[in-house]
Structure 1
Amino acid sequence: MRAWVKIFCTGLGLWVAAVVVTAVTSNPNLVPTVVLLGSFLVPVTFVAWAYGRGHAAGVTVELLFQSFIVGGVLGVLGASLLEGWLLRPSVWVYLGVGFIEEGVKLAALMFVARRMTRRTGRDGLVLGATVGFGFAAFESAGYAFNALFAGDGLSLSQLVETEVLRGLLAPVGHGLWTAIVGGVLFGRGFRISGAVLGAYAGVAVLHALWDSMSAIAIAITLVLTGRPWQFQALRLGQVPEVTTAQVHLYTVLNWAGLLLVSLVALAWLLDVSRRVRYGPPRGLA
């Protein structure tokens, strides 16, 4: 059995056991175990999968661990500071989030890989994915912790639902986007070139589209099926009631949009992987 399969199966079993015991005993001391296992399971599994098939000659297990922990923590801390300082509510806020979060992950990747003496594009793909999944793991832990607090007390069900949803979406999020930039960065000699800036801008836009897909789906739904009284309510600053058909259309549009963004990113990653597969090793700049 492959290592990543063992990691996933073992971690999933432990997480399910932690959820069941927490539900049976109502012991709040077990909540951190549920949060951490659920948030880290899928990211760690995919890092193991990428390392196992990436053939990244310059990537050691120690560097992989540093990239996941140090890169992930630096990423979420940097993003939190910059988003708090620079972003204000506007129609451009999602684009700002995309550029900030992809920028801090790129900076974190360059930091953890700065002492490598031999770099290939394959190394960049694996380390980029690792930094991205580290970011995703710590971010998911924060979302799961917030989901725990419901209006009438602590809600284990909301925590579990949040972790399941974010776990299912994790493979086509942060890890995928940073892997693309990492492959381009390492394939271009570890220098900030036009190609690297283009990749950074591209994944930032994909990130923004992903985050804003719910709002986009709502807007399209209203344009296609909106009723006069709904637009009147919006003009008055009120939230209009919606029909059952509109709820179904919104759901289809939202998930279709997320699927499209994911397919574009996956196709891009495959193209980058193909381009760097036989690239020569890159030394220190």
Structure 2
Amino acid sequence: MKCRSCEHENPDGTNFCMNCGHEFFQRENFHHEKFSIFYWFAEKADGLPREKRSVDPKLRNIFSRVFRKHTDTEAERLFIVGTALTTPKIEEVTDTWPKPWLFSRVFIIAIIAYIGLYIGVSIFNNINFVPGLIVVGAFAVPFTTLIFFWEMNAPQNIAIYKIVYVVFIGGIIALLVALIFYDILGRNNINPITIGITEELAKVIAVIFFVRNIKYRYVLNGLLIGAAIGAGFAAFETAGYALRSLLSGSFHSLYFTILFRSIFAPGGHVAWAALTGAAICIVQGENHFNLNMLLRPKFIGIFFLVVAMHALWDSPLHGIYPIGQILLMSGSWFIVFLLIRFGLKEIANKKWELSQHPMEPKPS
């Protein structure tokens, strides 16, 4: 099936062009989706009145493909990006808003797996299902959120195997660094502010470890790498809290811990680490990393904003839970969407620069 937009040949039955994302079949009754709460929130984040919007995809229709049918071929096409052979040149990258959908399928698969494990524990009383229940319950939402960031990485220059590597290694690095900081501080100095500084700084160190060279130099890369580290941090932490709940309470306490930490996972460690990861890539640009970059206002502003949100999240103030967490999660994602927009503009500017100053071919 040839795309009428870019003339790329696609397998039969594909709903969207695998090269440019052009939709082959338009649904007549799609207009009702614009009233979705997702569209309302996204339109606020995009910050443009309707009359000034272009025909290109915008944030307001970012979730338009979630509830549409997709083929296995489309999913396979997504999973092979990021290798040396499948990473597009910057001139070929689309700088309009991506339309992610795979993250919703990953979430459904995780929920089905969790339900199966839950049945094994609660109905058949088989304790062998407990480790799987904790692991799947801890990773389901953070990993789903991470897949969303991976789909939003327009340069498509990071392979999924690399992301899995960053989740595990980056998450462990951040946790161990945080424990070192806690030992240095001592128990008497632990409070919401020091917790925010300690854990966010630990994740910053982990992000620097992966983006210290110029391979991952785009803002969208920083969002993705940060989200991967935050997902690992959040999942390992949730698994630990879930085990503690089981050992000190009951299975009801275990389920409660997994449920509520999962609900707020997207607006916590995942989003915060994504923001600081983007900040690092903003100040680093196309240069190798050096510590002086952390003193630049663009990084300091985002870092202390994240620390403040983390501190408020852990605040013992009465009445802040769960309303405070909902507000903080909304605020975190508002800034995430703004940085995604900034990252797309970065790509558009880079493409324009290359078009104005094309690289001359090397003499043979």
The alignment's TM-score, normalised by the length of structure 1, stands at 0.78
Percent of aligned pairs with the same amino acid: 27
User: 2:344 corresponds to which residue?
Assistant: 277
Distance change in 2, residues 1:197/1:18 (3 Å) = same
Cα distance, 1:118–1:37 mapped onto 2, change above 3 Å: closer
Cα contact 1:55–1:122 (8 A) shared by 2:
yes
CA RMSD of aligned residues (A): 1.9
Alignment of 1:169-180 (within 5 A): 169-180=264-275
For residue 114 of structure 2, the aligned residue among 15, 21, 26 is: 15
Q: Distance in 1 between matches of 2:105 and 2:329?
A: 26
1:95 paired with 2:190, answer no
Equivalent of residue 204 in structure 1, options 307, 326, 337: 307
1:259 to 326, 331, 347: 326
- Give me the whole-angstrom Cα distance separating, in 2, the residues matched to 1:113 and 1:207: 23
Match of 2:80 in 1: none
Three-state SS of the structure 1 residue aligned to 2:114 is helix
Query: Which position in structure 1 is the counterpart of 2:166?
Result: 67
Deviations 1:213-258 (A, max 9, x none): xx212xxxxxxxxxxxxxxxxxxxxxxxxxxxxxxxx3xx432222
Aligned-partner residue type, residue 145 of structure 2: F
1:230 maps to: none
Counterpart amino acid of residue 109 in structure 1: V
Sort the Cα spacing of 1:71 and 1:23 in 2 relative to 1 into closer, same or farther, 3 A: same
Gaps of 5+ in 1: 218-249
- Per-residue displacement from partner, 1:182-214 (whole Å, max 9, x unpaired)? 1121122254233212211210111010011xx
Q: Which amino acid aligns with 1:113?
A: V
Contact kept? 1:136, 1:175, Cα under 8 Å: yes
- Amino acid corresponding to residue 216 of structure 1 in structure 2: L
Matched letter for residue 219 of structure 2: G
Partner of 1:86: 185
Q: Say if 2:141 and 2:262, in contact at 8 Å, map to a contact too.
A: yes
Shift of 1:44: 1.0
Q: Which amino acid aligns with 2:311?
A: A
223, 244, 267: which one pairs with 1:125? 223
Q: Which structure ranks higher in relative contact order (CA pairs < 8 Å, sequence separation ≥ 6)?
A: 1
Structure 1's consecutive aligned runs of 4 or more residues displaced over 6 angstroms after TM superposition are: none
Q: Hey, what's the Cα distance between the residues in 2 that align with 1:125 and 1:117?
A: 14
Q: Size of the alignment, in residue pairs?
A: 241
- Cα shift at 1:67: 1.6
Match in the other structure for 1:108: 206
Question: Could you tell me which residue of structure 1 aligns to residue 259 of structure 2?
Answer: 164
Letter paired with 2:202 = V
The worse-fitting range, judged by mean Cα deviation, of 16-25 and 95-104 is: 16-25
Q: CA deviation at 1:261?
A: 1.9
CA distance in 1, matches of 2:107, 2:321: 28
Say which SS state the counterpart of residue 346 (structure 2) adopts.
Answer: coil
Give the Cα–Cα distance (whole angstroms) in 2 for the partners of residues 68 and 127 of structure 1.
Answer: 9
Letter in 2 for 1:148: L
Query: Secondary structure in 1 aligned to 2:156?
Result: coil
Residue 141 of structure 1: aligned partner: 239
Deviation at 1:116, TM superposition (A): 4.7
Change (3 A) 1:163 1:279: same
For the Cα contact (< 8 Å) 2:230–2:273, is it kept in 1?
yes
Matches within 5 A, 1:221-232: none
- The superposition leaves residues 78-121 of structure 1 with CA deviations (integer Å, 9 ceiling, x where unpaired) of 1123213314346x711001001000101101112334525111
Contact 1:4 1:45 in 2 (8 A): yes
Mark the runs of 5 or more structure 2 residues left unpaired by the alignment. Answer: 1-69, 71-100, 351-364
Question: In 1, are the aligned partners of 2:272 and 2:306 still within 8 Å (CA)?
Answer: yes
Q: Report the structure, 1 or 2, having the larger helix content.
A: 1
For 2:308 and 2:247, locate their aligned partners in 1 and report how far apart those are by CA, in whole Å.
32
The question of whether the paired residues in 2 share the 8 Å contact of 1:54 and 1:122 is answered with yes
Please state if 1:216 is matched with 2:317.
yes
Counterpart CA distance in 1 for 2:323 and 2:135 is 30
Match of 1:29 in 2: 128
Which amino acid is 1:263 matched to? S
Quote the offset at 1:60 in angstroms: 2.1
* 3-state secondary structure, aligned to 1:254: coil
For 1:269, give the aligned amino acid: V
In the superposition, the TM-score normalised over structure 2's length comes to 0.62
1:43 equivalent in structure 2: 142
Match of 2:176 among 70, 73, 77: 77
CA contact (8 A) 1:56 1:126 kept: no
